[in-house]
Structure 1
Amino acid sequence: MTIKEFAPAKINLFLDVIRKREDGYHDLGTVFQTIDAGDTVSAEARMDGKIALSYNKPQDYPVESDLVYKAALALRSHSGNENLGAEIFLDKVMPLGAGLGGGSADAAATLRLLNRLWDLRLPPAELERIGATLGADVPFLVRGGTAFAEGIGERLTFIEPLDLPAGEVLLVATPHDAVPTKDAYAGVPKSGPDRWEAYKAAWASGTDAEKSFGCHLLDSGSFFNAFEISVFPKHPLVSALKDKVLDLGARVALMSGSGASVFGIFTDKATAETAAENLQLYTRYLTLTKFWHA
């Protein structure tokens, strides 16, 4: 029997680089939000103990380097049963090098999927710990929704999942460019903790109703991404795309993660659809969607 699992991608509503650590990694302060766009992972059990992975279209990297394959191996190793096998199929939609966490989302979905397929019955927290060995974004994407993340992204504080206000539409677009992570980190300013702590304090100061509706998090003035400072000079197509999204009527636009994708929030569907039509020539991926949570 084949079972499926949706792998929702993510955007960053806020992202600051706080400091560079002695181990070479960077401490971040960010707000993750899953969106209703992503890949789909499906699988059926194999009786020979082999894990195989195939795709809806050829990928330009070896299967062994795919986080889906690595997630399957990690979960099997954690189970202690090397006889577990799976035939996995990845319907890949999300672009690479896009700052949307597509590969991490696929890994998280694989952990959830094989946990069911192999009847392991591991709780989400245990899957998150396994996911942390695969990538910084994976633990969040095991659960999804809305979360504050610190450290390299592994220290999570989940909050009431956000929804966009009634009638608003999320546009996500990826230009004909990809941003290597090293480009984003090279030259990014290290802000220290003040901006991030002030951001958290502003959210915490709201009433319960305001926090439930994300009033502070979704206010147009609260969106920030420090990587725009380092990415835009080296990747003008990303900067130009953000400008176009704003010019086409978004109330807010921001680069997601380390790029190259940009998202915009529009107050009505008609304006968002017109913007999408105008952006098609400038993008390698484009969707109109909404926030996602389980």
Structure 2
Amino acid sequence: MIANILSIAGSDPSGGAGIQADLKAFSARGTYGMAAMTALTAQNTQGVTGVHEVPSAFVAEQIAAIFDDISVSAIKIGMIANANIAVTIADSLRHHVEVPVVLDPVMVAKGGHRLLPEDAVEALKDHLLPLAALLTPNLPEAAALLDEEVASDREAMIAQGKALRGLGAQAVLMKGGHLEGEDCPDLLVSAEGHQWLEGARIDTENTHGTGCTLSSAIAAEIGKGTALSEAVSIAKDYVAGAIAASDALSVGSGHGPTHHFHALWP
């Protein structure tokens, strides 16, 4: 059977990030995508100009409607918008602890707009991190969660990955795109130890929604029954291909989106 994957996240009307990117990634990875919306944003490739938060009770109603009718194979959580929504999501998912959760701690948009207030960061740490089979922060997000300086080398990435596991996540994928240099290494920290996933840096401005896409591709692979380490590796290769093919798209004048269907479209 085809796996059903649920995204709980915010909307991006330009289609490059948020639930729109999640649904594209789910489909590209051969799964059926669903979405419960936490916020509407007004944004494009140049930045975010507005956020309209969905009432937390309605977020809970969306999640309940899915689980009342549909078998869910995996969940991806993205933008949570505020502390009440974070707590509401956690309360909703405690009834479904058998479903693996990939948590992408979306805090700041590509253009610099802050998407998560301080009290919501604390709610994420207290209520959502313990539910996460995998946490997927970039280096600034990892530093913010730990209240530390941003990691600038591999040793610091290892230390912060282990510290984030200590906060309750079963595994952590430290995304190394913010490191300086020609390489773009990611680090998976789990109960089995740590594993480096190497990758070359791709010279393009079209990186809008890469974090959303990566976490969704991982959730899709986990939902299909792929082991965590292999799921992360497959998803990283998929996103690298999507970034490399992004120049085939002509979307906006800022940070354009990745090409989610690069392997499927002629």
TM-score, structure 2 as length reference: 0.29
> RCO (CA 8 Å, sep 6+): is it higher in 1 or 2?
1
Q: Which structure has the larger Rg over C-alpha atoms?
A: 1
Instruction: Say which structure is richer in strand.
Output: 1
Instruction: Say which structure is richer in helix.
Output: 2
